[in-house]
C-alpha cells in the first residue's frame, strides 16, 4: 500500500475495510496521533468525571471512537450515524427492553435529532443501573453508569444479537 508523504504536523489518516454481516461497507477513519493538547484535555476529564461514577481505562486514542469500540473491535472510528443504523439493521440487532438488559448487550445514545451520538457495551450493573464500557471520542475508554457521561442519556436504546 502506497503511503502518502506527510507534511510536518500533518495528520496521518487511513480507512480500513469494515463490513456488516451481509457485506455492506462501513465508512470509517483511523487517525494515528493525538497531539499533546488533546492528550492533556483527556487527562483532565478525570477531574470532572471520577470514581465511583466513572473509571477511565486505557489511554486516549484517535484510532477508534465509541462506535469503533462497540461495532468495530477498536480498529477504527465510525462517525456517520447512518452507518450505525445500517449496522443495527444488517447485523440483525434486536431492541431490548430496559428491564431486560443484561451483560453483553449494547447501548446506543440518540440525540434530540435522532443522531446516534454515542454507544457502548453493557458490562454489568450498579445500583440497578446498567454499567457501560464506552470510548469517549478521541479520549479514553470509560466504565460508567449509563447517564454519567457527556452524552445525552435521555434517549438510550439497548440491543442484542440473538442469532
Partner 1 sequence: MTELDVNYFSESAEWFLNANTPSYLYNHLKILGEVENLANKSTHQELFNICKKASEKKDKNYDSELVFYIGLIALSLKPYSEFSKYVESLKTSNYKWASTIISLIISNHQPVTTATIKVESKPKIKRLEKKSKDTDDSTTEQTMHFKSNPIVYKTEEGFSNITTSDNTINLEPNGD
Binding region for partner 1 (CB under 8 A): 7-11, 13, 29, 34-35, 37-38, 41-42, 45, 65-67, 77, 79-81, 111-113, 115-119, 136-139, 150-151
Least distance (Å) between residue 75 CB and partner 1: 15
Residue number with CB closer to partner 1 (33 or 92): 33
State which residue, 116 or 131, has the beta carbon closest to partner 1. 116
Distances (CA, A) of 137 to 8, 66, 114: 24, 6, 18
The least CB distance from residue 100 to partner 1, in Å, is: 26
Least distance (Å) between residue 162 CB and partner 1: 26
Which residues partner with 32 through β-bridges?
none
Amino acid at each position: 500500500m502506497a503511503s502518502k508523504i506527510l507534511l510536518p504536523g500533518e495528520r496521518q489518516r487511513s480507512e480500513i475495510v469494515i463490513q456488516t454481516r451481509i457485506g455492506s461497507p462501513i465508512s470509517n477513519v483511523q487517525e494515528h496521533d493525538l497531539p499533546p493538547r488533546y492528550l492533556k484535555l483527556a487527562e483532565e476529564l478525570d477531574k470532572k468525571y471520577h470514581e465511583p461514577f466513572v473509571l477511565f481505562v486505557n489511554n486516549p486514542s484517535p484510532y477508534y471512537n465509541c462506535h469503533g469500540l462497540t461495532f468495530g473491535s477498536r480498529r477504527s472510528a465510525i462517525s456517520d450515524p447512518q452507518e450505525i443504523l445500517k449496522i443495527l439493521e444488517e447485523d440483525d440487532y434486536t431492541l431490548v427492553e430496559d428491564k431486560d438488559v443484561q451483560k453483553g448487550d449494547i447501548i446506543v445514545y440518540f440525540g434530540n435529532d435522532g443522531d446516534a451520538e454515542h454507544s457502548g457495551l453493557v458490562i454489568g450493573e450498579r445500583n440497578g443501573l446498567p454499567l457501560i464500557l464506552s470510548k469517549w471520542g478521541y479520549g479514553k475508554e470509560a466504565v460508567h453508569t449509563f447517564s454519567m457521561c457527556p452524552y445525552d442519556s435521555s434517549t438510550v436504546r439497548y440491543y442484542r444479537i440473538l442469532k
